[in-house]
Chain A
Amino acid sequence: MKTPSMMSGQAADFGPTPSQTVGPFFAYGLTARQYGYDFGQPFDDVVALPEAPGQHIVLEGRVLDGDGQPIMDAMVEISQADSAGRYPAAIADVKASGFRAFGRMGTGTDPELRFRFRTVKPGAEGPGQAPHINVIVLMRGLLLHAFTRVYFSDEAQANASDAALQSVPAERRSTLIAQRQDKGGVPVYTFDIHMQGAQETVFFDV
């Protein structure tokens, strides 16, 4: 019996599928609950539930365009290790620890157009790696999502020996470092993502 794929002229030209923009209307597909649509979403701004081990933190920031204006139709996804530097391998690990490792938030619902994740500070994944959070940025006007990383301002020593961070030209490293502010009980790390301009965030080819 012929399978659909064997019939496919599209499949006859095999190779990676080109990326396209997430567009301005991703909200009810990817972040429905956040934006008040009657549909669920598999990921949200909670990366670590209250019971997850480690130091609980907030990671927040804005996504800024080439004019320095905050972007209201961007979406940020983050992935990170737990406080011991490990990634959950199965949903059972997530259920046992309360650490979900992955988060997603659009910038269109916060009054200041921020993304804002509740998580724990990650541990280092191994020697020569400083604690960091992996970031994917998507938005209207971005045909292919961009990768970056968040490092922490209070990890100067670890940052100095992080191979990835040290591979970045010295004058641009500051674009990858979230600044810690203590607002009450939970440390808040601010990480603005500049798509362009003098402070353009370092994006990685990974």
Chain B
Amino acid sequence: MTTTLSPRGWENHPPYVYPGYKSTVKRGPTKPLVPLKAAPGEIAQPVYGHDAVGELDHDLTRNARRNGEPIGERMVLTGQVLDDRRRPVANTLVELWQANACGRYVHKADQHDAPLDPNFLGAGRCMTDSEGRYRFLTIKPGAYPWGNHPNAWRPQHIHLSLFGQHFASRLVTQMYFPGDPLHQYDPMVMSAPERLRRRLIADFSLDVTEEGYALGYVFDMVLRGADETPFENR
């Protein structure tokens, strides 16, 4: 079988160089990309073992506990991973990382003087189910300042990394929260074409909210897919 991928769709993504986000200026490629017909390597995907995801990896409220509950507003983050023909992307790895409730990353390079939480790492992963659904339990991240421009604050956000069914369907993105007044000041949100920014903002959902326990947000993600249906026995 020859699988061809749907077009890359550059119009769906930010440009490589977006001067509002200063670091892009010296890092984004500037020469034209060379068209490449997808070969087996671009069609392939990483294979995962059962041991790729641990029992608590999807639950950031428990996977790094030391002496108690993590601080902050508990939240469920769930959604469906689909390809661009609305086909579910089943059994694919979703990785997540984020700041804690105070807007501080555990990362050694994060110098923001907000407190660390000894019971929260901020990293998780899970596999999508047969319908392409994923689900994390976590703590709502805080906003934090960064040095991009005067009085620069990142809106509350969660980083997500996905593979999809092909090496060429890889996606790393960020999920933002509805109603955050910082969106309009954030060059990363604004780097996405205006008509597409809605796709980066999760929906609050009372259906997903767990009574007495955690608020719920839905964030669907759409990856590039194949132009034809792969064989079931692939």
What is A's interface to B at a CB cutoff of 8 Å? 2, 4-5, 7-11, 13-30, 32, 35, 37-40, 42-43, 65-67, 71, 73, 77, 79-81, 87-91, 93-95, 101-102, 125-126, 129, 132, 134, 136, 138-147, 149, 163-164, 167-168, 172, 195-196, 200-206
Contact = CB atoms under 8 A, between A and B. Distances in A.
Contact of A101 (B28, B47, B197): B47
B161 to A, nearest CB: 6
Nearest to A125: B40
Given A7-B203, A79-B44, A145-B172, A19 B13 contact: yes
| Interface majority SS (helix, strand, loop, mixed), chain B | loop
A202 B173 CA distance: 24
Contacts of A42: 46, 48, 52-53, 93, 95, 125
Given A16-B222, A200-B30, A206-B8, A129 B199 contact: no
Nearest to A108: B109
B173 A18 contact: yes
B24 interface: yes
B34 A168 contact: yes
B24 A142 contact: yes
B3 interface: no
Contact of A204 (B33, B219, B234): B33
B47 A15 contact: no
A194 to B, nearest CB: 9
A65 B121 contact: no
29 contacts: A4-B78, A5-B218, A8-B220, A10-B219, A16-B199, A16-B222, A18-B192, A20-B173, A21-B188, A22-B161, A23-B174, A25-B107, A39-B123, A42-B46, A42-B95, A42-B125, A73-B109, A89-B234, A91-B47, A91-B48, A102-B47, A139-B27, A143-B188, A172-B31, A202-B31, A202-B34, A205-B10, A205-B33, A205-B35
B222 to A, nearest CB: 5
Given A28-B121, A42-B48, A204 B35 contact: yes
B27 A71 contact: yes
B153 interface: no
Contacts of A132: 41
Given A24-B107, A146-B29, A10 B161 contact: no
A139 B23 CA distance: 10
Given A23-B159, A25-B105, A91-B47, A195 B199 contact: no
Interface residues of B, number: 96
Contact of B12 (A4, A15, A140): A15
Give the most central of A11, A24, A32, A95: most B CB within 10 Å.
A11
Shortest beta-carbon contacts, A-B, top 6: A29-B97, A141-B23, A141-B27, A66-B26, A205-B33, A204-B36
Given A4-B205, A167-B35, A206-B168, 12 more contacts: A4-B207, A18-B13, A20-B14, A35-B108, A81-B40, A136-B170, A141-B21, A142-B24, A142-B28, A143-B14, A164-B37, A200-B30
Contacts of A89: 47, 234
